[in-house]
Amino acid sequence: MDLNHLKTCATIVPSSYVNLAQQSWMSRNHIFQHLLNHKKIPDEGWNECLVETFLSELSQLDSNNLIGKCGAGEREGRIYSDIVARRNYRFSHGVGRSGDVTAVQPKAAGSSIVNQLCSKLVLDFIHQAGGTTAKSCIIVPMATGMTLLLCFLALKSIRPDARYIIWPRVDQKSCFKSMISAGFEPIVIENCLVGDELCTDVDAIQKVIEKVGADSILCIHTTTSCFAPRIPDKLEEIAQICKDKEIPHIVNNAYGVQLSKCMHLLNQASKFGRVDAFVQSCDKNFMVPVGGSVVASSNKDNFLELMASTYAGRASAAPAIDMLITMLQMGRNGLKNLLSERKDNYSYLREEMRKLAEKHGERILETPHNPISIGMSLSSLVDKTADVTELGSMLFTRRITGARVVPLGAKKTIGSFSFQGYGSHCNTYTCPYLTVAAAIGMKREECDILVKKLDKTIICLKKRVSQSGSAEISEEC
Amino acid sequence: MDLNHLKTCATIVPSSYVNLAQQSWMSRNHIFQHLLNHKKIPDEGWNECLVETFLSELSQLDSNNLIGKCGAGEREGRIYSDIVARRNYRFSHGVGRSGDVTAVQPKAAGSSIVNQLCSKLVLDFIHQAGGTTAKSCIIVPMATGMTLLLCFLALKSIRPDARYIIWPRVDQKSCFKSMISAGFEPIVIENCLVGDELCTDVDAIQKVIEKVGADSILCIHTTTSCFAPRIPDKLEEIAQICKDKEIPHIVNNAYGVQLSKCMHLLNQASKFGRVDAFVQSCDKNFMVPVGGSVVASSNKDNFLELMASTYAGRASAAPAIDMLITMLQMGRNGLKNLLSERKDNYSYLREEMRKLAEKHGERILETPHNPISIGMSLSSLVDKTADVTELGSMLFTRRITGARVVPLGAKKTIGSFSFQGYGSHCNTYTCPYLTVAAAIGMKREECDILVKKLDKTIICLKKRVSQSGSAEISEEC
Amino acid sequence: MDLNHLKTCATIVPSSYVNLAQQSWMSRNHIFQHLLNHKKIPDEGWNECLVETFLSELSQLDSNNLIGKCGAGEREGRIYSDIVARRNYRFSHGVGRSGDVTAVQPKAAGSSIVNQLCSKLVLDFIHQAGGTTAKSCIIVPMATGMTLLLCFLALKSIRPDARYIIWPRVDQKSCFKSMISAGFEPIVIENCLVGDELCTDVDAIQKVIEKVGADSILCIHTTTSCFAPRIPDKLEEIAQICKDKEIPHIVNNAYGVQLSKCMHLLNQASKFGRVDAFVQSCDKNFMVPVGGSVVASSNKDNFLELMASTYAGRASAAPAIDMLITMLQMGRNGLKNLLSERKDNYSYLREEMRKLAEKHGERILETPHNPISIGMSLSSLVDKTADVTELGSMLFTRRITGARVVPLGAKKTIGSFSFQGYGSHCNTYTCPYLTVAAAIGMKREECDILVKKLDKTIICLKKRVSQSGSAEISEEC
Amino acid sequence: MDLNHLKTCATIVPSSYVNLAQQSWMSRNHIFQHLLNHKKIPDEGWNECLVETFLSELSQLDSNNLIGKCGAGEREGRIYSDIVARRNYRFSHGVGRSGDVTAVQPKAAGSSIVNQLCSKLVLDFIHQAGGTTAKSCIIVPMATGMTLLLCFLALKSIRPDARYIIWPRVDQKSCFKSMISAGFEPIVIENCLVGDELCTDVDAIQKVIEKVGADSILCIHTTTSCFAPRIPDKLEEIAQICKDKEIPHIVNNAYGVQLSKCMHLLNQASKFGRVDAFVQSCDKNFMVPVGGSVVASSNKDNFLELMASTYAGRASAAPAIDMLITMLQMGRNGLKNLLSERKDNYSYLREEMRKLAEKHGERILETPHNPISIGMSLSSLVDKTADVTELGSMLFTRRITGARVVPLGAKKTIGSFSFQGYGSHCNTYTCPYLTVAAAIGMKREECDILVKKLDKTIICLKKRVSQSGSAEISEEC
């Protein structure tokens, strides 16, 4: 509706009623204008109606939705199912253009604006979350693993002779896969045990560089967010090395946007050393369905441009749409609340887990540098492997999907690589344990339920074990 | 609702009314059961209500939607925005598992079933469309270009020393990018002109293989669906060469599922030669938004397994959801109608374009081997480059986005490669031309509008040109 | 979005792309403006997106949706459930104002516009459907029966001493109830049998008026649309009497808008006699859910104003919203097609029923003045009451809910009134029969299915009867 | 989905994942079963997904949605617009049957269940809200005014000779209209001023009864919820009189369900005297859009049956659907919270208004018997009529729609009745005033905004007045 419509409305109902609405109508226009001008997350989250109106208006700018369009001759832009059309707000052209995932699509002005706006808002999100040195970012409609792979391919175009990626070990399959699927050979740097914490072995990295030569190294691939007892890599020192040796540096910051400590590490590393890009998952930081990731950089665009143009073809707009909706509804205030709630929940859950550990003769692993994940030893279980595994499966059937048990001595082969003690980020950890994370969006009540259910399940397991697992007992618990 | 609910309903309203509904209720259950058992596109398309009920029920199987779940400790599965939750049917876990995009996700039984079912239905779709030799397929939540890239990376793991990809030229940027972004060196095979058609130079391929050696070749990368005057590659002969020389063969069948000729070519090539996989776009064949593609194979799974496990991490479920909805609503009958309508529209549009060409002293390019695209010469324009370009821009501003003009002599550089005559699939074509496609989903009326608008635009351009483009004239048309 | 937004968009994507969209954006604005100016059904139906945008914009004019509103102190306008808010487009104030159901509600400019527009569009609909003499109409959010009751109450305020309503018998419960619930005494005029048709006994009406006196009569309450073998009342003659005697005349035109014959009758009656108002059902003519009706008049507003101000309080906006959506999506062309399809289906169904009747030794009742309903004798059934009733119940369990069987001799008491031969509109019809209607929205295929199922069911019934209804047989059919 | 579907799912994904979901699936079934068995508001509100699934399943029981239905011959049940179908959950048959709005509709088992369930849940809601003596209730898809009218018509059928309705004055137009539109003559009982409160003049009622005779009185029509300084009628005393004199008693409890005081009054009146029915608005108590009301009774069904059968024809299902959704989402806990929040907000708002009054030299009217509405004197305004009216219009343009100003001496004519001091419930109140209500759903923050805005507006008005309303000043405020 425009002002002429409102004027005509005032011929249908008294103009004083329409005038009242006109003030509100101008407020709404102002809200839209402000977003388009400033491209930042609004202070207050938008209501559903505003968000849907905005998307619907943008979607009208795409050629498949133009009134008076001539669709014949086109091979695309037709949506068969009305359900599909509605759930995609009638956006059908995806994002990007054949050679560049961030390029504007001539047939899809609206989709392109969604994508451009979304990346600006994500940048603002990162700033709000503490990543103050970030200069630009792009949304990639692939999850973290594939996006890391794309980073490596992008680097390859400028370092054609590099073969190796230096990688401080973190036992998460996708990030390992990303290197071997891209055709590189990971050089695994085992972690050092300091107290309970598993830390980066910076010396080992330096030795490796000396050994294989900086030119043969595609990049160093570090990790910030991870499960305790592993802690974030020593980003500052590694970034310094990368700067000195002119080796690219890619950081897997999977769920680190929600963690001010990780963002601080990235800031420091970017200021004083070299960080080409840091990659984060959309679902784990922005509370959207799995499917997208964000590549950010503290340099002005160089690596990101390279990366965007490495992407071959267009891509799904779905992650950008989900992200844009979410940030508009969340608002800066909503984001701030989520971040501070998370921090509080972490402290609370840690304390409750500590009490639980004490009750069962266990202890919380001392990992002060890991700001999200809490490890609890499982030393008192009789059979350290079978019982720990059994506990894991009992938790799963009790619908506790967020606690992960790590027995000692698990082996795993990925491609041609074999890992000892897989899951614990080192060949032999000091004890089996379980970990839980205090992630964004979790509620205080959930912490209590988790601890209570963990307690019950451990009691139940111990009963079973002590009574040889008789059926009667297992029924009871 | 189950039978007990219906029984209780019969205490609220007379049981005879409920009995009537119970028959229908059982019919619905039977429809669901039939789909789950047979995993084929239903004969008759489902109505919206059935589709949404089915998706909603599957979504209830995902851990984030379980009643009584304990979400604490998890880093994922929370959706901030209700809008986002609804538009994704509350699916939040994506598809795949860290190492394999087709793997079942333990936390997401429902999402996994959507993905598995979807790929079975796509296989059925391919069969119905004439691709009878296809044995299996997977949905990849990336568009065609990135999916080709992933195919090449997958092949690399089994041919680590290969450097080249043999590629009969087709002037489409994504497919070229897919090779160089994956780190390979394309060997471009220029097309031969036969009549108006641009055909594969099979001899040149053989010479190249002899020259560089089969082992250094990652694969031959051919194309079926393309713009006239290029025609589908000689798949049978190339597949025979691939079989003889043990060179993998990847086919870009971008929008070829809708074309029985392309599917027939693939059948023949698969039967008598070697085809490792053929890749098709979801949006161009299945009428869904851009974002996914299908990799199919006539071998039982070998290459597809390799490919799936090359994908690093989970992926967006959005393309699979859109595809599943579409195929359920379309039904086999709907699909058949669409395919035959398309064929009829092609003949009709070709004939109407022929009349248009005649009227303007032009001619239709004779490309009987191209089953979808129609080329019309633009020889009568005075300034063959400027006027052709002007025509393109006039069509765009008249909202005719499906006609593409190709002037002579365009140059284009992609990476370190330079192309002459870019857009025409050869260095120098015989004349400038425009092309239109008769694609799936187009309506008969659209053909008429297109031809009418083309006619008007050409007349207008010629007037402008003959009158030195005076402003008065251009206003008029 | 307004023009400033579009300008800003052109800083995000190239302005040529935005310009393309701007043309379309102006077309959309023009469509809205045209509707607001002319208040007529658009020639071409709107797509879903246009309709939802329009409603959403109007809803923003209601005070509960105003940005910056202060809701405190209010007792209303809050919607608890988001589902409810969404499905009502966030309209919450209903329509009307305490004393008048058509009055504009100061707190709800948007809802009021919906209601005003809707009644203008309905008037246009009536005109298109042939009711050319209609001058105005209102939407009442109650079904036909209650709306007739409200008409009678409205008349009472100007004829306080009237006690009787003259009513040519039609066996439909709601319309009879409407009179007694309103506190009046119906004087039932039995129909005359002419051939197979049951027609108005105009003489009897005149005699009654002479007997009780015109002043004691609230109105004559006639019926147009009805089940065969009853035919529409002789509206012209009755309207002439009403004019002469100054007796109000209310016409129950329940599903007559779809019937050009009924609309013609109303035109003639309005031109040459007196018709105060004619009442029609929303669901039966406009294909919306049950819940609203339309009161129309060929006089300029007098009776309708009285009627609107008789309504006590506000009312649900739901029927107006459903109606507005439907008319916008249907368009004049859609409406015309529906009306002509219906006419064709009536002829077709009549012919198919004739063949069916012949096959079973029955005949179609000759009721050329009834344009929608078709009666088929059921004379060949052995037990004219039990078997006819059994047939009815067999049809119901076979999900044929649109065929109605009428046995002879049914009795019915409503209030203190007793009817003989209830269902057949007369005390003793010549034979039992079944009726079906050919209503708006029915598809040709449905006619075939109906006749086929009727055939099967009659065969099955006859088998049962001839074999004493043995269980084995009944299982089979 | 049923158990067989789940078993088949376990052939697609590992059965352990399906087993996990099966527990949840059974929980959901149990929730549905519990509701169908007990027909009470669930303790915990349902999430959107549960609610929508439930409605969608019920809707499948309606004949228009049956798989294999034969719709031909029907005049109804077809919905033209998909938007309309979706927003009505494909319910199309409305509720009720021609003669009875609570009757089950054979073609619509699902709609009928919605309606039956809804009325049971509303009864539970009333019980939870303190109306413990209520025995049954029905949902009427008309707002309060029309529903009161229907009550009066229902009573007429059993008291055919009654002409009068005794009505203690309350200045609300709909309830007055309900009596005159139904054709009765209201006998207005003016209120007594006791302190600031306006109370029922019970003596006057008794005198009137003696004068006109009990038989000529249709009923006494009392009011509970109302604007201060009027307070709820003396229900107990009046109910006692009604019992003694055998006069029916209808209570307008418009927004009284949210007020424990009103519910207590009704309980007492029902226990010790006669209350035939009490009527309440859906929108004002249950937070749904305007359109429905609830008639409840503490007797077992007698009056309600009469009332339901007075309703002529079917009716819109929309109010019942909105109500059912709302109560399922709210849950008992949600309801309790809303009720106690309201009480707290009333106290808070009263206290804040007291401070505001003091600041401006005004006072809060002492009306301890009115539990929802707060009156503040406007004695300090210079021109008691013009300035008070001006204040009202200033509040409206500032989007404060919930504060109502009442000048002295307003006159109003409704039908043939004239009221002095209209708006203040008495001919001459002691001072002009404004009222605000603390209604269900209001938030604490809203109270603060209201008081702040009131403060500013009064200051602004006083400035204008003192400076002869010069334009410069009025701009400022």
Residue pLDDT, tens place only, C199-217: 999 999 999 999 999 999 9
Residue contacts between B and C (CB atoms, under 8 Å): 17
D446 vs B165: CA distance, rounded Å: 68
Q: What is the pLDDT of residues B340-373, one digit of tens each?
A: 999 999 999 999 999 999 999 999 999 999 999 9
B376 vs B358: CA distance, rounded Å: 10
Mean pLDDT of B14-26: 90
Q: Is A24 on the interface with D (CB under 8 A)?
A: yes
Distances (CA, A) of A456 to A110, A353, A431, A450: 53, 13, 22, 10
Q: Is B453 on the interface with A (CB under 8 A)?
A: yes
The two tokens of residue A328 are: 């508009």
Q: What is the pTM of this model?
A: 0.95
- Predicted confidence at residue A385, as pLDDT, reads 79
Instruction: Closest CB to B397: pick one of C20, C82, C397.
Output: C20
Instruction: Closest CB to B8: pick one of D36, D66, D106.
Output: D36
CA distance B122 to chain D (A): 16
D416 vs A62: CA distance, rounded Å: 60
Q: What is the pLDDT tens value at each position of chain D, 477 positions in all?
A: 788 999 999 999 999 899 989 988 999 999 999 999 999 999 999 999 999 999 999 999 999 999 888 888 788 889 999 999 999 999 999 998 877 888 898 889 999 999 999 999 999 999 999 999 999 999 999 999 999 999 999 999 999 999 999 999 999 999 999 999 999 999 999 999 999 999 999 999 999 999 999 999 999 999 999 999 999 999 999 999 999 999 999 999 999 999 999 999 999 999 999 999 999 999 999 999 999 999 999 986 689 999 999 998 899 999 999 999 999 999 999 999 999 999 999 999 999 999 999 999 999 999 999 999 999 999 988 787 789 999 999 998 898 888 999 999 899 999 889 999 999 999 999 999 999 999 999 999 999 999 999 999 999 999 888 876 544 444 445
Please tell me which residue of chain C has the smallest CA distance to D281: C76
Confidence band for A471, pLDDT divided at 50, 70 and 90: very low
Chain A residues with CB-CB distance to B107 below 8 A: 401
Query: Which residue of D393, D399, D401, D445 to mutate against A (max A Cβ within 10 Å)?
Result: D399
Instruction: Closest CB to A112: pick one of C13, C49, C110.
Output: C13
- Predicted confidence at residue B378, as pLDDT, reads 95
Instruction: Closest CB to C20: pick one of B20, B23, B399.
Output: B399
With 90 as the cut, is the pLDDT of residue B421 above it? yes
Mean pLDDT of C231-237: 98
Q: Give the pairing type, strands A373-377 and A433-437.
A: antiparallel
Find the distance separating the first CA and the last CA of chain C, reported in whole Å.
Answer: 62
A321 vs C283: CA distance, rounded Å: 38
Distances (CA, A) of B316 to B96, B319, C168: 9, 7, 67
- Predicted confidence at residue A415, as pLDDT, reads 87
- For chain D, the three-class secondary structure string (H helix, E strand, C coil) is CCHHHHHHHCCCCCHHHHHHHHHHHHHHHHHHHHHHHHCCCCCCCCCHHHHHHHHHHHHCCEHHHCCCCECCECCCCCCCCHHHHHHCCCCCCCECECCECCCCCCCEHHHHHHHHHHHHHHHHHHHHCCCCCCCEEEEECCCHHHHHHHHHHHHHHHCCCCCEEEEECCCCHHHHHHHHHCCCEEEEECCEEECCEEECCHHHHHHHHHHHCHHHEEEEEEECCCCCCECCCCHHHHHHHHHHHCCCEEEECCCCCCCHHHHHHHHHHHHHCCCCEEEEEHHHHHCCCCCCEEEEECCCCHHHHHHHHHCCCCECCHHHHHHHHHHHHHHHHHHHHHHHHHHHHHHHHHHHHHHHHHHCCCCECCCCCCCCEEEEECCCCCCCCHHHHHHHHHHHHCCECCCEEECCCCEEEECCEEEECCCCCCCCCCCCEEEEECCCCCCHHHHHHHHHHHHHHHHHHHHHHHCCCCHHHHHHC
Fill in the DSSP letter of residue C97: B
Q: Is D82 on the interface with A (CB under 8 A)?
A: yes
Chain C residues with CB-CB distance to B48 below 8 A: none
Mean pLDDT of C23-35: 94
- Predicted confidence at residue D301, as pLDDT, reads 63
Please tell me which residue of chain B has the smallest CA distance to A326: B81
Q: What is the pLDDT of residues B107-140, one digit of tens each?
A: 899 999 999 999 999 999 999 999 999 999 999 9
Q: What is the pLDDT of residues D332-373, one digit of tens each?
A: 999 999 999 999 999 999 999 999 999 999 999 999 999 999
A357 vs D161: CA distance, rounded Å: 82
CA distance A61 to chain D (A): 23
CA distance C397 to chain B (A): 6
Q: Is C445 on the interface with B (CB under 8 A)?
A: no
Residue contacts between A and D (CB atoms, under 8 Å): 17
For helices B444-466 and B318-359, give the axis angle rounded to 10 degrees: 50
Burial string for A55-70 (b: 16+ CB within 10 Å, else e) reads bbbbbbbbbbbbbebb
Confidence band for A51, pLDDT divided at 50, 70 and 90: very high
3-class DSSP assignment, residue A471: helix
Q: Using the beta-carbon criterion (under 8 Å), do B20 and D109 form an inter-chain contact?
A: yes
Mean pLDDT of B464-472: 64
Fill in the DSSP letter of residue C422: T
Q: Give the pairing type, strands B164-168 and B217-223.
A: parallel
Beta bridge partners of C168: C189
Q: Is B88 on the interface with A (CB under 8 A)?
A: yes
How many helices (H) and strands (E) chain C has is answered by 16, 14
Query: How many CA atoms are closer than 13 Å to the CA of C340, on its beta-carbon side?
Result: 6
Q: Is C173 on the interface with A (CB under 8 A)?
A: no
Question: Chains touching chain B at 3 or more Cβ pairs under 8 angstroms?
Answer: A, C, D
- What are the residue ranges of helices labelled H in B182-317? 202-212, 235-245, 260-272, 282-286, 302-310
Q: Is A84 on the interface with C (CB under 8 A)?
A: no
With 80 as the cut, is the pLDDT of residue A446 above it? yes
Chain D residues with CB-CB distance to A23 below 8 A: 399
Q: Using the beta-carbon criterion (under 8 Å), do A57 and C12 form an inter-chain contact?
A: no
CA distance C342 to chain A (A): 27
CA distance C27 to chain A (A): 7
Q: Using the beta-carbon criterion (under 8 Å), do D33 and B4 form an inter-chain contact?
A: yes
Q: Using the beta-carbon criterion (under 8 Å), do D318 and C315 form an inter-chain contact?
A: no
Mean pLDDT of C271-288: 96
Give the DSSP H/E element, type plus range, for residue A54: helix A48-59
For B256, residues 6+ apart whose C-beta sits below 8 A from its C-beta are B224, B225, B232, B262, B263, B266, B278, B280, B285
Are D70 and C402 contacting, i.e. CB atoms less than 8 angstroms apart?
A: yes
Chain A residues with CB-CB distance to B48 below 8 A: 82-83
Find the distance separating the first CA and the last CA of chain D, reported in whole Å.
Answer: 62
**CB-CB neighbours of B265 under 10 Å:** 25
Please tell me which residue of chain A has the smallest CA distance to B76: A284
CA C133, C138, C144, C150: dihedral to nearest 10 degrees? -110
Are C292 and C140 contacting, i.e. CB atoms less than 8 angstroms apart?
A: yes
Chain A residues with CB-CB distance to C119 below 8 A: none
Are C138 and C146 contacting, i.e. CB atoms less than 8 angstroms apart?
A: no
- Predicted confidence at residue A301, as pLDDT, reads 63
Q: In a 10 Å sphere around its CB, with 0-12 CB exposed, 13-18 middle and 19+ buried, how is residue C347 labelled?
A: exposed
Q: Using the beta-carbon criterion (under 8 Å), do D289 and C106 form an inter-chain contact?
A: no
B355 vs B447: CA distance, rounded Å: 13
Q: Is A472 on the interface with D (CB under 8 A)?
A: no
Counted residue by residue, chain A has a size of: 477
Q: What is the pLDDT of residues B280-293, one digit of tens each?
A: 999 999 999 999 99
3-class DSSP assignment, residue C100: strand
Q: What is the pLDDT of residues A193-249, one digit of tens each?
A: 999 999 999 999 999 999 999 999 999 999 999 999 999 999 999 999 999 999 999
Q: Using the beta-carbon criterion (under 8 Å), do C397 and B19 form an inter-chain contact?
A: yes
Query: How many CA atoms are closer than 13 Å to the CA of D66, on its beta-carbon side?
Result: 27
D100 vs D57: CA distance, rounded Å: 25
Peptide bond into C229 cis (omega under 30): yes
Q: Is C116 on the interface with A (CB under 8 A)?
A: yes
- Predicted confidence at residue D313, as pLDDT, reads 87
B320 vs B108: CA distance, rounded Å: 14
Please tell me which residue of chain B has the smallest CA distance to A453: B70
Chain D residues with CB-CB distance to A24 below 8 A: 399
Chain D residues with CB-CB distance to A399 below 8 A: 20, 23-24
Instruction: Closest CB to C82: pick one of B19, B82, B397.
Output: B82
Q: In one letter, which amino acid is A132? A: T
D185 vs A162: CA distance, rounded Å: 98
- Tell me which residue of A318, D475, D308 sits closest to B95, measured CA to CA: A318
Instruction: Closest CB to C312: pick one of D76, D106, D146.
Output: D146
Percent of all residues in chain C with a pLDDT value above 70, rounded to a whole number: 97
With 80 as the cut, is the pLDDT of residue B440 above it? yes
Q: How far is CA C308 from the centre of its chain?
A: 19
Are A92 and A224 contacting, i.e. CB atoms less than 8 angstroms apart?
A: no
A9 vs C114: CA distance, rounded Å: 10
Q: Using the beta-carbon criterion (under 8 Å), do A70 and B446 form an inter-chain contact?
A: yes
Q: Is D65 on the interface with B (CB under 8 A)?
A: yes
For B302, residues 6+ apart whose C-beta sits below 8 A from its C-beta are none
Q: Is C49 on the interface with D (CB under 8 A)?
A: no
- Predicted confidence at residue C471, as pLDDT, reads 43
Are B141 and B96 contacting, i.e. CB atoms less than 8 angstroms apart?
A: no
Q: What is the pLDDT of residues B314-341, one digit of tens each?
A: 999 999 999 999 999 999 999 999 999 9
Q: Is D153 on the interface with B (CB under 8 A)?
A: no
Are D205 and D352 contacting, i.e. CB atoms less than 8 angstroms apart?
A: no
With 70 as the cut, is the pLDDT of residue C474 above it? no
- Predicted confidence at residue B385, as pLDDT, reads 79
Question: How does the average pLDDT of chain A come out, rounded?
Answer: 93
For helices B109-128 and B318-359, give the axis angle rounded to 10 degrees: 30
For C239, residues 6+ apart whose C-beta sits below 8 A from its C-beta are C249, C268, C269, C270, C272, C273, C274, C275
- Predicted confidence at residue D468, as pLDDT, reads 64
D325 vs D323: CA distance, rounded Å: 5
E-strand ranges in B308-444 read 373-377, 404-406, 411-414, 417-420, 433-437
Please tell me which residue of chain B has the smallest CA distance to D116: B12
- Predicted confidence at residue B301, as pLDDT, reads 63
Fill in the DSSP letter of residue B304: H
3-class DSSP assignment, residue C409: coil
- Predicted confidence at residue C473, as pLDDT, reads 45
Burial string for C318-341 (b: 16+ CB within 10 Å, else e) reads bbbbbbbbbbbbbbbebbeebbeb
Mean pLDDT of B253-279: 97
B136 vs D231: CA distance, rounded Å: 77
Give the DSSP H/E element, type plus range, for residue A114: helix A109-128
Question: Chains touching chain C at 3 or more Cβ pairs under 8 angstroms?
Answer: A, B, D
Phi, psi of A399 (to 5 degrees): 65, 25
Confidence band for C468, pLDDT divided at 50, 70 and 90: low
CA distance A87 to chain B (A): 5
Chain B residues with CB-CB distance to A91 below 8 A: 289
Are B240 and B272 contacting, i.e. CB atoms less than 8 angstroms apart?
A: yes
Q: Using the beta-carbon criterion (under 8 Å), do A24 and D399 form an inter-chain contact?
A: yes
Q: In one letter, which amino acid is D410? A: A
D438 vs C45: CA distance, rounded Å: 45
Find the distance separating the first CA and the last CA of chain A, reported in whole Å.
Answer: 62
| Out of A296-300, B269-273, B372-376, D434-438, least confident range | A296-300
